[in-house]
Amino acid sequence: MGIWTRIKSALQPRVELSLTDPTGWRVASGSSAGTPITESSAMALATVWACTNLIAGTLASLPVEITRKGADGRREVLGDHPLSRVLREAPNADQTALEFIEHQALAIELWGNGFARKIMGATDRVIGLEPLHPGKVQVYRASDGALGYRWTDDRGKQHQAGEREIVHLRGFGGHPLGGLSTLAFARNSFGLARQIDRSAAAMFENGMQPSGALTFKEFLTAEQRQIAETRLVERHLGARNAGRPMILEGGVSWEPMMINPEDAQMLEARRFSVEEICRFFQVPPHMVGHTDKATSWGSGLEQQMLGFLTFTLRVRIKRIETGLERQLLTPADRARGIGIKFNVEGLLRSDSEARSEFYERALRNGWMTINEVRALEGLEPVTGGEVPRMQMQNVPITDTGKEAGNGQ
């Protein structure tokens, strides 16, 4: 029985239980491939690891700023705001700001929800955020209509808190009780990928695919067969013997075996599982090292990168920004125009050419000043650098030469 035949037999319909999550969606408790899916088994898939690492790591690398919108529409960074230290330096005693945002982004990608307990100060302001494991938090609607949260800590202690004590960042779905869990809705795709990996591993572990055959012109005696099996096969068996010369005599020939169609179909299924998982996370396959097919956005990898920034990261950034603003800022802060923003210009730091072009256009068209550019680059302001400038070469033809005449 070929490898692909065994996989297809494992995918035969089987009885499953259905569960209703707090948002009202019904999801299966097991995958069609018969493989239980947990966060550990999902993260063991290289594509899941690469997609979540890419999204969470990119989001966490962006600076989080507390800003205030002025009457002129410009936003001023408030470095002295109490939340600035929490979101830019250390939300708690154990994590940096990058680690905290990365943890929340990963939780949203897998479970559809990120949770953190607020640590309040003497002035009733948030002075810290303690992350909670999303798989251990239960969200419910209390009798008074408010949201409530129950969870169990690492020591087995039960906790309960109201919505004013918890930061709840929701993923795709938009339901008040929580976002939709990728682990739940993608479990069939994850289970199939796991089953294919296991079957491929079993093929190599059990030696089900010989690399070739030793062909003899005549039937062997028992003694000759013993010599062939022990001296020829065992001397060249295993990875450590790869490349060792083989001495053949007495009319013996070596015939390498090509991969059979069913095993080739298994390799195609592995490629398909990579693309299928990438669809769930909205990540272009080339960004996780899968580049064996033509691009799907635009005419090349550059267009796919722009699509990733526009359609994948932008909505995730907006979800986290609005969630933090609603649950961390006071009504007085919001009335003053204070907001929480990711500085997406941080994505340009790794591309000096794109960064230079961005700054040049901003300065040439007057929507950024020299000092604003210098601030983004970590440089001190210069005298006169706060005045916007704009080139004036595009003047009416009737005005040509007037400036020169005035100068004389």
Asked if residue 246 and residue 161 are part of one domain, the reply reads no
Asked if residue 40 and residue 156 are part of one domain, the reply reads yes
pLDDT tens digits for 167-201? 999 999 878 899 999 988 888 888 878 777 676 66
Number of domains in the chain: 3
**Is 70 exceeded by the pLDDT of residue 206?**
no
Residue found under tokens 């089900």: 208
Asked if residue 223 and residue 326 are part of one domain, the reply reads no
* CB neighbour list of residue 228: distance below 8 Å, 6 or more residues apart: 214, 216, 220
Asked if residue 176 and residue 83 are part of one domain, the reply reads yes
Last residue within a domain, chosen from 328, 347, 366: 347
Asked if residue 252 and residue 379 are part of one domain, the reply reads no
Beta strands in 16-85 (DSSP E): 18-20, 26-28, 64-69, 75-77
> CA 333, CA 338: separation in Å to the nearest integer?
5
pLDDT tens digits for 254-274? 666 555 544 544 556 667 788
Q: What is the mean pLDDT of the chain?
A: 77
The domain of 229 spans 210-258
Q: 47 near 239, Cβ under 8 Å?
A: no
> CA 285, CA 275: separation in Å to the nearest integer?
6
pLDDT at 14: 38
Residue type, 292: D
Asked if residue 97 and residue 53 are part of one domain, the reply reads yes
pLDDT tens digits for 106-153? 999 999 999 999 999 888 889 999 999 998 999 999 988 899 999 988
Q: What is the number of residues in the chain?
A: 408
pLDDT at 158: 93
For residue 282, give both structure tokens.
Answer: 């909205």
Q: How confident is the model at residue 97 (pLDDT cuts 50, 70, 90)?
A: very high
pLDDT tens digits for 60-89? 999 899 999 877 667 788 888 989 999 998
Q: How confident is the model at residue 99 (pLDDT cuts 50, 70, 90)?
A: very high
Asked if residue 249 and residue 270 are part of one domain, the reply reads no
The residue-averaged pLDDT of 279-287 equals 86
**Is 50 exceeded by the pLDDT of residue 4?**
no
Q: How confident is the model at residue 56 (pLDDT cuts 50, 70, 90)?
A: very high
CA atoms within 13 A on the CB side of 152: 4
pLDDT at 1: 47
Asked if residue 148 and residue 18 are part of one domain, the reply reads yes
Between 100 and 247, name the one with better pLDDT.
100
Asked if residue 323 and residue 297 are part of one domain, the reply reads yes
pLDDT at 13: 38
Residue type, 335: A
Last residue within a domain, chosen from 319, 347, 375: 347
Asked if residue 205 and residue 232 are part of one domain, the reply reads no
Asked if residue 155 and residue 242 are part of one domain, the reply reads no
pLDDT at 340: 94
Q: 373 near 384, Cβ under 8 Å?
A: no
**Is 70 exceeded by the pLDDT of residue 231?**
no
Last residue within a domain, chosen from 298, 330, 347: 347
pLDDT at 8: 47
Asked if residue 278 and residue 246 are part of one domain, the reply reads no
The DSSP string of 253-289 is EEEEPPPPHHHHHHHHHHHHHHHHHHHHHT--GGGGT
